[in-house]
Chains A and B, each alone.
Chain A
């Protein structure tokens, strides 16, 4: 039961930390525009060369045409295959791609494991169900699981050795940078060892997911931690889930804000609109910058200061 308790705790921390990160972002005040082209929700013709709606004469009189299709067409290969890195830093991509894709496949495998558990619950447990869906899931779990583990091991070892051996990475790396990769490697290597030596069909993983969903019900007599490697894999995966959103590795999902709230945020401020209302609120904030020319005293608002002249030198 100890394993399950740890996993529950870690999932709880994951949800809390992720929710906190997102909450913090969505409650920040609206900021000035700082977009960077190409902005991928532009029409395909414009996005191809990085153009914007500002290229149109009297643009404010027109409706800004946006293309969700174009945005998705860009984002999918970016997320799945890390296309940007492939284009700009090929040698790093060769290890970063297997690393990230390995992690994605692990997430996909976790999803499949949950579905698998639900299928069993929906049948006449404890009798093992058969049928096409079950067989399909069994097959898929083996494929995504194994591929993910192999890629993840290659990727994390590669990242580790590149960071350690190349001065331009090493000179900027701290203990935590190595620790993070080692941590992920520990999961990949232990899970792979468990699969290779004791559980090639990932029966234990399926049973563990089932146990997680049912508060510890055994499936086919499984109890977590039967092999050392399997136990380490469960503990490290659980801890990782809790740890990732606490670190810069949260970029896996925070990239949404980096792109949609900054890089591609080209929303116009229209009179009487939502953005204008938010700006007006900001203009009432009272800065305390201390340089003479700012002339802030904690009572004057941004609006007062912006409409005044600087204190002369």
Chain B
């Protein structure tokens, strides 16, 4: 019923433009067939009665319905003024050239569609095609902002602009994880992920419309309190103190986690979510750095202990503010380099994107922890017993770290050395599939969005993980190594959602945990599979 959708349909009245029926999603293999008839549960009508819900089965932003026609018209005008600004250098120097090139050269060949996990897994629903939302924006731009556009639209592709179009387009920009897999296959080099990113920016920077998890509770809270988790500096220090104690308990190895050491070689910045959800990751980093004798520190200054930069996903202004704070903290600490912990988007934000933002002494060297860790592992400073990691391991490639930064091999070289059961997913490296948690989805779970993510967005990753462990006995514990906090969050959620721990004995964690687990100096295992230790002391 939803197939055969055209871009112009986005402005046509309908309560739900695209609904996924039971059985339409890509099938899962045994023992998960019972999920094949499961579909996204309906939104609670009471909770959403004042919100725009007419795109599909879920909502990510929750845009309030305008009170009257005048308000609607004002919003349409505001959208157009934002769209215009996307093409002005004063307002969008950051992405003007990439945006113009991608807007002007799509050949509508649909090669990108087959590369998109959301489109493929959804049962190939048209609205999730990578170029669908790009084409909508292109048509609006040409028709409403180009001279003579209303006439040429009849020839180049028409669309009506009304509040419905806009509200749906805003929501639709949050059905793409910005993984940019589509961009790698486009024969021309058009980047539909980028266009989605620009649509999100328009809504945020001009209209103040963004998911609350990214904006209010994300960048705003990050800059105000110190972390998007809500942890202020005191709470962060408390958590780390607790981690220190725990680590000794877990591994029998005592770690001291240094704070605010001026002149240290390395400022390590974690995604602060690690401190709350995966404290062992923070502890494992400390263990490795300490055992390798590195000169390093954490920062207890607000913003400095949380590497995330959600602005990367929706707002250049918020992005810039967070990046400048990160760099400034490192500058004042007089460290030699910043090392990014296991967080993919934070890697890309501060290392690559902020590279054309930071000038003078704010432009400090930034390095991926994958690289620092590989150097340690190769240096011979630590002794390993790879047999301690003698269980099946597969590696998830965070899109931001791999496809957007080209950091592909260091983590693999580490795994080949310390994890004899390591095997690749298919495909992997720069051709990987997103975990489904990209671009903020891992932390967005309002209304029924988490179910949409687990059923549609993360489905391809789940299939890939199952495939990587094919042939392994069900009762053998299996480890999905995901060196990124957001990816871990998404993978944790799919494991829980599909009961994959019970059914396939799937476990997940970071890379540093595997490294520490194989360190000869550890008296006890770092990794446990439920109650079962990964090795016996």
Contacts and interface: CB of A to CB of B under 8 A. Distances in A.
B101 A262 contact: yes
A54 B114 CA distance: 30
Contacts of B89: 28-29, 282, 285
Chain B: number of interface residues, binned into ranges: 35 or more
A261 B363 contact: no
Most chain B CB atoms below 10 A, which of A31, A82, A290, A307: A31
Contacts of A74: none
Nearest to A269: B355
B403 A251 contact: no
Given A37-B430, A38-B406, A28 B105 contact: no
Nearest to B197: A34
5 contacts: A33-B352, A84-B187, A172-B135, A250-B105, A251-B188
Interface in A168-205: 168-169, 171-177, 179
A291 B402 contact: no
Contact of B104 (A38, A51, A248, A275): A248
B188 A177 contact: no
B223 interface: yes
A51 B107 contact: no
A258 B189 contact: yes
Contacts of A32: 94-95, 353-357
Interface string A92-113: 1000100000000000000000
B191 interface: yes
Interface stretch (A42-50, A137-145, A210-218, A232-240): A42-50
A172 B183 contact: no
Interface string A248-265: 101100110111011100
Contacts of A167: 3-4
A38 B109 CA distance: 22
Interface in A269-313: 269, 271, 275-276, 279-280, 282-283, 285-294, 296, 302, 305-310, 312-313
Counting from the closest, the 10 A-B pairs by CB-CB distance are A52-B406, A258-B189, A50-B430, A306-B320, A174-B157, A37-B406, A291-B208, A289-B205, A89-B111, A29-B93
Nearest to A257: B101
A248 B220 CA distance: 40
A68 B410 CA distance: 25
Contacts of B359: 269, 271, 276, 279-280, 283
A50 B321 contact: no
Interface of B: 3-7, 78, 81-82, 85, 89-91, 93-98, 100-102, 104-111, 113-115, 126, 131, 135, 154-158, 180, 183-191, 194, 204-208, 215-216, 219-220, 223-224, 317-318, 320-321, 323-324, 337, 351-360, 363, 365, 367-368, 370-372, 374-375, 402-410, 429-430
A49 B408 CA distance: 8
B187 A85 contact: yes
Interface residues of A, number: 87
Residue in B4, B113, B408, B429 whose Cβ sees the most chain A Cβ within 10 Å:
B408
Contacts of A58: 337, 365, 367
A71 interface: no
B107 to A, nearest CB: 7
Given A84-B186, A174-B155, A283-B359, 19 more contacts: A29-B96, A32-B354, A33-B353, A54-B368, A60-B365, A89-B187, A92-B111, A172-B6, A175-B156, A176-B155, A248-B107, A262-B189, A288-B91, A289-B206, A293-B215, A293-B318, A306-B323, A306-B357, A310-B318
B371 A56 contact: yes
Nearest to A100: B187
A95 B104 CA distance: 23
Nearest to A250: B105
B430 A88 contact: no
A25 B220 CA distance: 35
A171 B91 contact: no
A146 B359 CA distance: 57
A287 B92 CA distance: 8
A35 B206 contact: no
Contact of B408 (A50, A53, A84, A305): A50
Contacts of A25: 97, 101
A263 B189 contact: yes
